[in-house]
Amino acid sequence: MILKIVQTGYPVLRQPARELTPDEILSDPVQDLIQSMFDTMRDAPGVGLAAPQIGMPLQLAVIEDRQEFLSKMPPEDLAVRERTEVAPHVIINPRITVEAADTVEFFEGCLSLPGFTAVVPRALAVRVDALNERAEPVTIHARGWYARILQHEIDHLHGTLYIDRMQSRTFATRENFMRFHEARKD
Protein backbone atom coordinates (compact mmCIF):
# COMPACT_ATOMS: atom_id res chain seq x y z
CA MET A 1 0.00 0.00 0.00
CA ILE A 2 1.28 3.48 -0.89
CA LEU A 3 1.27 5.77 2.13
CA LYS A 4 1.12 9.57 2.20
CA ILE A 5 4.51 11.21 2.75
CA VAL A 6 4.17 14.15 5.13
CA GLN A 7 5.81 17.43 4.20
CA THR A 8 8.01 19.79 6.16
CA GLY A 9 5.99 21.68 8.75
CA TYR A 10 4.23 18.49 9.87
CA PRO A 11 5.05 18.24 13.62
CA VAL A 12 6.14 14.56 13.62
CA LEU A 13 9.11 15.50 11.41
CA ARG A 14 10.52 17.67 14.21
CA GLN A 15 10.06 15.26 17.14
CA PRO A 16 12.26 12.41 18.30
CA ALA A 17 10.73 9.06 17.35
CA ARG A 18 10.24 6.32 19.91
CA GLU A 19 12.01 2.97 19.92
CA LEU A 20 10.20 -0.24 19.04
CA THR A 21 10.25 -3.36 21.22
CA PRO A 22 11.10 -6.73 19.65
CA ASP A 23 7.47 -7.80 20.09
CA GLU A 24 6.27 -4.69 18.26
CA ILE A 25 8.75 -5.28 15.45
CA LEU A 26 7.50 -8.83 14.93
CA SER A 27 3.82 -7.83 15.07
CA ASP A 28 1.67 -7.96 11.95
CA PRO A 29 0.97 -4.20 11.98
CA VAL A 30 4.68 -3.29 11.98
CA GLN A 31 5.52 -5.95 9.39
CA ASP A 32 2.74 -4.55 7.18
CA LEU A 33 4.04 -1.03 7.81
CA ILE A 34 7.53 -2.05 6.69
CA GLN A 35 6.18 -3.45 3.41
CA SER A 36 4.07 -0.33 2.85
CA MET A 37 7.12 1.86 3.52
CA PHE A 38 9.11 -0.02 0.87
CA ASP A 39 6.21 0.37 -1.56
CA THR A 40 5.95 4.09 -0.77
CA MET A 41 9.71 4.69 -1.07
CA ARG A 42 9.86 2.92 -4.44
CA ASP A 43 6.79 4.77 -5.71
CA ALA A 44 8.15 8.21 -4.72
CA PRO A 45 10.91 7.26 -5.88
CA GLY A 46 13.57 7.52 -3.20
CA VAL A 47 16.51 5.69 -1.62
CA GLY A 48 15.27 5.84 1.96
CA LEU A 49 12.14 6.50 3.97
CA ALA A 50 11.82 6.97 7.73
CA ALA A 51 8.62 6.28 9.64
CA PRO A 52 8.22 9.94 10.71
CA GLN A 53 7.95 10.79 7.00
CA ILE A 54 4.70 8.84 6.85
CA GLY A 55 3.48 10.38 10.09
CA MET A 56 4.56 7.57 12.44
CA PRO A 57 6.88 8.62 15.31
CA LEU A 58 8.80 5.30 15.28
CA GLN A 59 12.53 4.60 15.02
CA LEU A 60 12.17 2.68 11.78
CA ALA A 61 13.55 3.33 8.30
CA VAL A 62 13.76 1.44 5.02
CA ILE A 63 16.68 1.86 2.61
CA GLU A 64 17.43 0.74 -0.94
CA ASP A 65 19.60 2.33 -3.63
CA ARG A 66 18.61 0.53 -6.82
CA GLN A 67 20.71 -0.11 -9.89
CA GLU A 68 18.15 1.77 -11.99
CA PHE A 69 19.15 4.99 -10.18
CA LEU A 70 22.86 4.33 -10.63
CA SER A 71 22.54 3.52 -14.33
CA LYS A 72 21.26 7.07 -14.93
CA MET A 73 24.44 8.63 -13.53
CA PRO A 74 27.80 9.12 -15.26
CA PRO A 75 30.46 6.72 -13.91
CA GLU A 76 32.61 9.63 -12.72
CA ASP A 77 29.71 10.94 -10.57
CA LEU A 78 29.24 7.48 -9.05
CA ALA A 79 32.97 7.25 -8.32
CA VAL A 80 33.28 10.65 -6.64
CA ARG A 81 30.22 9.90 -4.49
CA GLU A 82 31.37 6.35 -3.76
CA ARG A 83 27.85 5.33 -4.75
CA THR A 84 27.00 1.69 -5.33
CA GLU A 85 23.84 -0.38 -5.25
CA VAL A 86 22.40 -0.97 -1.77
CA ALA A 87 20.10 -3.95 -1.21
CA PRO A 88 16.73 -3.30 0.44
CA HIS A 89 16.91 -3.44 4.22
CA VAL A 90 15.38 -2.11 7.41
CA ILE A 91 16.97 -0.32 10.36
CA ILE A 92 15.13 -0.08 13.67
CA ASN A 93 16.31 1.75 16.82
CA PRO A 94 19.62 2.66 15.12
CA ARG A 95 22.71 3.99 16.87
CA ILE A 96 25.19 5.74 14.60
CA THR A 97 28.92 6.20 15.10
CA VAL A 98 31.16 8.24 12.80
CA GLU A 99 34.01 6.03 11.58
CA ALA A 100 35.85 8.57 9.39
CA ALA A 101 36.20 12.14 10.62
CA ASP A 102 36.40 13.34 7.01
CA THR A 103 33.27 15.03 5.73
CA VAL A 104 32.06 15.15 2.17
CA GLU A 105 29.69 17.69 0.66
CA PHE A 106 27.08 16.89 -1.97
CA PHE A 107 23.63 18.09 -2.92
CA GLU A 108 20.88 16.25 -1.08
CA GLY A 109 17.10 16.22 -1.29
CA CYS A 110 14.23 14.79 0.74
CA LEU A 111 10.83 13.27 0.00
CA SER A 112 9.38 15.46 2.79
CA LEU A 113 10.74 18.60 1.14
CA PRO A 114 10.08 17.92 -2.55
CA GLY A 115 11.40 20.15 -5.27
CA PHE A 116 14.41 21.49 -3.34
CA THR A 117 18.04 20.55 -2.81
CA ALA A 118 21.13 21.87 -0.99
CA VAL A 119 24.70 20.96 -0.23
CA VAL A 120 24.91 18.99 3.01
CA PRO A 121 28.18 18.00 4.70
CA ARG A 122 28.11 14.41 5.96
CA ALA A 123 30.61 12.00 7.47
CA LEU A 124 32.37 9.86 4.87
CA ALA A 125 31.98 6.61 6.83
CA VAL A 126 29.68 5.47 9.62
CA ARG A 127 28.81 2.43 11.66
CA VAL A 128 25.17 1.75 12.48
CA ASP A 129 24.04 -0.70 15.14
CA ALA A 130 20.34 -1.47 14.80
CA LEU A 131 17.70 -4.17 14.72
CA ASN A 132 16.41 -5.59 11.45
CA GLU A 133 12.82 -6.50 10.56
CA ARG A 134 13.19 -9.80 12.47
CA ALA A 135 14.26 -7.90 15.62
CA GLU A 136 17.80 -9.26 15.19
CA PRO A 137 20.83 -7.07 15.92
CA VAL A 138 22.77 -5.92 12.86
CA THR A 139 25.89 -3.83 12.39
CA ILE A 140 26.35 -1.87 9.19
CA HIS A 141 29.64 -0.30 8.11
CA ALA A 142 28.90 2.18 5.36
CA ARG A 143 30.96 4.57 3.29
CA GLY A 144 30.24 7.18 0.65
CA TRP A 145 26.67 7.62 -0.56
CA TYR A 146 25.36 4.73 1.53
CA ALA A 147 26.74 6.44 4.65
CA ARG A 148 24.96 9.63 3.55
CA ILE A 149 21.63 7.81 3.15
CA LEU A 150 21.95 6.27 6.62
CA GLN A 151 22.78 9.63 8.21
CA HIS A 152 19.86 11.31 6.44
CA GLU A 153 17.33 8.66 7.53
CA ILE A 154 18.63 8.45 11.10
CA ASP A 155 18.39 12.25 11.32
CA HIS A 156 14.67 11.88 10.54
CA LEU A 157 14.33 9.60 13.58
CA HIS A 158 15.65 12.43 15.77
CA GLY A 159 13.52 15.23 14.31
CA THR A 160 16.28 16.63 12.09
CA LEU A 161 15.92 17.52 8.40
CA TYR A 162 18.72 18.08 5.91
CA ILE A 163 17.86 21.79 5.90
CA ASP A 164 19.16 21.89 9.49
CA ARG A 165 22.60 20.76 8.25
CA MET A 166 22.74 22.33 4.79
CA GLN A 167 24.98 25.10 3.58
CA SER A 168 22.16 27.62 3.41
CA ARG A 169 23.52 29.59 0.45
CA THR A 170 23.30 26.45 -1.73
CA PHE A 171 19.56 25.90 -1.13
CA ALA A 172 17.84 25.76 -4.51
CA THR A 173 14.83 24.47 -6.33
CA ARG A 174 15.54 21.27 -8.27
CA GLU A 175 14.79 23.19 -11.45
CA ASN A 176 17.47 25.80 -10.71
CA PHE A 177 19.88 23.10 -9.55
CA MET A 178 19.54 21.41 -12.95
CA ARG A 179 19.80 24.74 -14.78
CA PHE A 180 22.81 26.21 -12.96
CA HIS A 181 24.73 23.39 -11.25
CA GLU A 182 24.30 20.36 -13.46
CA ALA A 183 24.80 22.50 -16.57
CA ARG A 184 28.29 23.53 -15.35
CA LYS A 185 29.50 19.93 -15.45
CA ASP A 186 29.57 19.89 -19.29
Position 100 scores a pLDDT of: 84
Residue 102 lies in a domain: yes
Does residue 4 fall inside a structural domain?
no
Three-state secondary structure along the chain?
Answer: CCCCCCCCCCHHHHCCCECCCHHHHHCHHHHHHHHHHHHHHHHCCCCEEEHHHHCCCECEEEEEECHHHHCCCCHHHHHHHCCCCEEEEEEEEEEEEEEEEEEEEEEECCCCCCCEEEEEEEEEEEEEEEECCCCCEEEEEEECHHHHHHHHHHHHHCCCCHHHCCCHHHCEEHHHHHHHHHHHHC
Residue 62 lies in a domain: yes
> From the CB of residue 54, how many other CB atoms can be counted at a distance below 10 Å?
22
Q: What per-residue confidence (pLDDT) applies to 178?
A: 87
| Residue-level pLDDT, tens digit, the chain, 186 residues | 999 999 999 999 999 999 999 999 999 999 999 999 999 999 999 999 999 999 999 999 999 999 999 999 999 999 999 999 999 999 999 999 999 889 999 999 999 999 999 999 999 999 999 999 999 999 999 999 999 999 999 999 999 999 999 999 999 999 999 888 765 554
Residue 80: the pLDDT is 94
Q: Which CATH number fits the domain that encloses residue 148?
A: 3.90.45.10
Instruction: Check residue 186 and give its pLDDT.
Output: 45
Q: Which domain holds residue 54?
A: 11-185
Indicate whether 42 belongs to any domain. Answer: yes
Q: Is residue 3 a part of any domain in this protein?
A: no
The verdict on residue 2 lying in a domain is: no
Find, among 71, 66, 72, 73, the residue nearest to 45 by Cα.
66
Give the chain's domain count.
1
Q: What amino acid positions are annotated as catalytic residues?
A: 153
